[in-house]
Amino acid sequence: MTATVASVDGEQMTAAPPAGSGTADPDTGTPRRKATGLLLGVALTSLVADLVTKQLALSELTGRGPVSLLGGAVYLSLTRNSGAAWSIGSDHTWVFPLITIGVVAWIAWMALRLRSLPWAVSLGLVLGGALGNLTDRIFRAPGHFVGHVVDMVSLFDPYGQVWPVFNLADSSLVCGVLLAVFLELTGRQRDGSRATAERSDAETPAEQRERA
């Protein structure tokens, strides 16, 4: 509610509403919209790139042996994985789509209070990677929700003996998780605040002097 104040010459002037009066700020939704848009953009880019590289691998590597790149540091070796890394859980393929659906639901819930652009990139990478592999689980052979994931990149060995054969979706997931860990360690919150700043504001002046 605005207040009117009488001036000395009898005219009325409108005073600014006091802080905390509940007046809506038209820009309050802007950080959230930007963060959500960035999350969706990163996720879509990651998903499309993963689908394209998998299709290229199927087209170019089917029936071929491993292709050596960078002097043997990287090999392109087409495989189909029914499990996780190192084929862990290959006898329980149906579990992985359920886990992925849970991850997607968690990211959707996190997006409700998301206002941090770095966190948007992190969650977008995780979402895009999760959807990329979920697409394989649902639509590829041998059947719905038990499909095998297409992998094609092997490091230092053509058959994944040094590191599990992976795809672009796996890379997105790993990069997103590592970025999330970094953001947590540096105190960056998903709502755009900094944990260190909040802790400093909560301290009394005496505590701040003692810590200094």
How do residues 51-101 score in pLDDT, each as one tens digit? Answer: 999 999 999 999 999 999 999 999 999 999 998 765 676 777 889 999 999
How do residues 99-117 score in pLDDT, each as one tens digit? Answer: 999 999 999 999 999 999 9
The verdict on whether omega for the bond into residue 164 sits within 30 degrees of 0, i.e. cis, is no
Predicted pLDDT at 23: 44
* Residue in 9, 50, 151, 157 annotated catalytic: 151
What is the rounded average pLDDT of the residues 129-137?
Answer: 96
Q: Flag whether the pTM goes above 0.85.
A: no
Token pair recorded at residue 34: 């930007």
* Residue in 91, 170, 191, 201 annotated catalytic: 170
Q: Where are the domains of the chain?
A: 31-186
Known catalytic membership, residue 136: no
Q: Is 157 exposed, middle or buried (0-12, 13-18, 19+ CB in 10 A)?
A: middle
pLDDT score of 198 more than 80: no
What is the rounded average pLDDT of the residues 113-140?
Answer: 96
Placement of tokens 């959230």 in the chain: 32
pLDDT score of 11 more than 60: no
